[in-house]
């Protein structure tokens, strides 16, 4: 990997992490359900597949920039580790049904939004 790619991922990761923090400040925290993490992971899944299939990015943008957006920005924005910790915390606090709902919504919602992002990106490909 080139130095440019490393720098791109570094800068993108900073942007993504700050964006995730901003989202967490903008959403009212709930002790019952981790809405902030669910939201950022859903948005990240949609955006990643959209950007990968969108004609402008896939054809005209350099590889370091694409990696910076995908791995950097969206990798810094989304968070599997927080999802895992929150699931365990819900389970340990005897909120087993909520933990199971969180896992279900996270997995199937993320896959569904990734599919929608793919379809939206491919739709743009067909229009260009």
* Secondary structure tally for the chain: helices H, strands E: 7, 0
Longest dimension (CA), the chain: 52
Provide Rg for the chain, Cα atoms. 16
The pLDDT value given to residue 55:
77
Q: pTM of the prediction?
A: 0.89
The position carrying tokens 């790619």 is 5
Give the residue numbers of the binding site: 75, 78
Domain locations along the chain: 3-123
Give the residue numbers of the binding site for Na(+): 75, 78
Query: What's the mean per-residue pLDDT of the chain?
Result: 92
Q: If you average pLDDT over residues 23-49, what whole number do you get?
A: 92
């Amino acid at each position: 990997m080139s130095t440019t790619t490393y720098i791109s991922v570094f800068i993108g990761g900073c942007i993504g992490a700050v964006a995730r923090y901003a989202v967490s400040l903008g959403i009212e925290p709930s002790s019952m359900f981790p809405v902030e993490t669910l939201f950022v992971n859903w948005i990240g899944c949609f955006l990643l597949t959209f950007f990968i299939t969108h004609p402008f990015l896939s054809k005209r943008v350099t590889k370091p920039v694409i990696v910076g957006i995908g791995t950097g920005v969206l990798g810094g924005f989304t968070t599997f580790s927080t999802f895992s910790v929150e699931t365990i915390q819900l389970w340990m606090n005897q909120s087993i049904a909520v933990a199971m709902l969180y896992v279900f919504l996270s997995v199937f919602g993320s896959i569904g939004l990734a599919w929608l992002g793919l379809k939206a990106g491919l739709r743009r490909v067909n229009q260009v």
